[in-house]
Structures are given as structure tokens and as C-alpha cells.
Amino acid sequence: MKNTIEKAFTDFDKQTILVIGDVMIDSYMWGKVDRISPEAPVPIIAVSKRENRMGGAANVGLNIRALGAKAVMCAMIGDDEGGAIFKRLLKKREMTDEGILVSSERKTTIKTRVISDNQHLLRVDEEEIYALTKNQEKIFINHLDALLKNQNFDAIVFEDYDKGNITPAIIEFVVQSATQQNIPTLVDPKKRNFLDYKGVTLFKPNFKEICDGVKIDLKKGDFAALNNATDILKNELGAKYVMVTLSELGVFITENGSFHQMPAEIRDIADVSGAGDTVISVAACSLASNLSIRQVAVIANLAGGLVCEKIGVVPIDKNALLKETVAYFKALRL
């Protein structure tokens, strides 16, 4: 098993993963609060540091890159200051912008967090949430068609944040093309397109999303009931696998009519931000390495826990993940 896992991690370096979805900028303002405004009962923060990071679907790209694979992100951003910042961030990370489309009719999403003494005081969102127009959708599909014809992708990830970059027509086109080319497709869904991902390989909702998506009131920890819900979802979507993230209860995965629950490791949780992005990224690379779905779920679960030990949204540490994965399987004598 150790040799199998180590080979899979080595194979990550040869992979190219296409990430389709809503990229954005996570902007941070750090400072200190030492007085209240005389204009209103609100704190005044003296800003000492600012930083911009790639967020949303771009965080999936960062995790894939951290695993050693090449990430090609396909998204439509605005022809604005935010869009220019996003492209500079890509260049800084030595990542390609070949999948990025720019439109003067869209606005680049920026989420600004104001933090003082490690306390999150405020978040300001600058965004316009609406689906691509028919013309934008056509441009997007043509661009995807060219990417799929000109490159050999090992997996495709839909990273949906409900900002409008993913539409039912785009989903249908990509899944059809991927099926023809035998490319696994993975989905990190949100509400708007939840039931539009027909025929995907792996569908990864969190607990709340699956409850809302199948309109069933589930009790967390009732895995038999959760299995019934995933069966409903699998039949509705025609998905091969459904993997549900359960926060402190780990990960739940269906396989050939049965299910497995991988409990979360005991950790010092510092921040859960971005854990879902890490889980889908690791799952994509692991699935592309032809690991079993149970191995995929185990590794993705460990990765989600590891990033929760860090403050802020940070990519996975590949070496730390490999070490923990090998130790995990060794302990189980697999």
C-alpha cells in the first residue's frame, strides 16, 4: 500500500487538471482597534497591512498546484481593477491564465475581510451575482471546447460558488465532452445548479447542501439515512460516486451500493476556511491517479483536516499529506 500511495503522489506531478467555476479575490486588511468612532458606535481600525489572495475556484487551482499538478482555471472575470489584480496573482504564482476570459460586462468578485488581533470584524463583498448571458455562455463554451481539444486533462473540477460562471448548458457540454474522452468529472456544488450535474463522476456536497438538495431533514450522524439520501441523489444525477463532507464527522462516500464513513482525525482546529476546496482538489488528483474511491476519500479527508490546522485559507502541504496518508494506511495494515 505504501508503494501504491507514494506512486500516486508522484503521479500528481504529471497531471493537468481543468478547474471551471467562480474565481475571486480574497482581500485582507489587518490592523488594530483602539477607539470607537465619534460618528457612530463602530470601531475604528488603523490598517497596518493589506494583502490580496486568489480565492473561490482559484483556491482549488492553488491546491492542485501545491500537489504538483498543473491547474488550468477557466472562468470569466471583469475587465476591471479586480481582474487585473487576479491576473497578477496568477503570474506571481507562476500559473497559467490561458483559461481566463475577460469581459467588460462582468465584475470581478472581491471579498475583503477586516481583521484585528486575529478577530474577524467585518467582510465586504464586491460582486454581481448573475448567470452568464447567452452570448457570454457561447464564448465560454467555445473557449472550453478549444481547451479540451488542445490539451489532455486528467480530471475536470466544477467549483461552483453560485456567482454565475457555471450554467446548465456549460455543465452539459463539459460532461458530454469529458465522457467521450474518458476524463473524470468532480463537482463541489452550490444551490443554483445542484441538480444540473447529470452524469458526473464524483459529486461532493456538504451535509447542509445534500439536505437542501434532496429536501430531506437528516440527523447528522445517521449514516443509514444519509445513505438513502445519497442513493436518491445518485439516481437523480446519474453520478458514479457521492462524497459528503461532514465537518467534525469526516467524510461519507458511497460505493457499489454500500457506504463508508471516514472519521475526522483529532486535531487542533484553527480555521475551517477553504477546507472544502482542498478536499475536492485532492480528490481530483487522487481519482486521476486511479486510486480506489475509498482511498480517494481517505486522502481527501486527511487533507481537509490538515488545512484546518492553519489560520486562513492556505493550500495543502503535499509532503505533510503524504506522510500522514502513509501512516494512516500503515496503522490500518492496508
Q: Active-site residue 97, yes or no?
A: no
Residue indicated by cell numbers 463541489? 188
Phi, psi (rounded to 5 degrees) for 223: -75, -25
| Alpha-carbon distances of 262 from 207, 245, 254, 298, rounded to whole Å | 14, 10, 11, 6
C-alpha cell at 315: 493550500
| Alpha-carbon distances of 325 from 45, 320, 321, 328, rounded to whole Å | 42, 9, 6, 5
Which of 26, 162, 277, 317 does the annotation list as catalytic? 277
C-alpha cell at 203: 459529486
C-alpha cell at 151: 490539451
Residue indicated by cell numbers 479575490? 25
Secondary structure of 53-86 in the HEC alphabet? EEEEHHHHHHHHHHCCCEEEEEEEEECCHHHHHH
Residue indicated by cell numbers 452570448? 135
How many Å apart are CA 191 and CA 207, to the nearest integer? 13
Coil, strand or helix at 275: helix
Q: The dihedral of CA 197, 248, 227, 325: what is its sign?
A: positive
Which of 274, 187, 258, 273 has its CA nearest to residue 223?
A: 258
Active-site residue set: 277
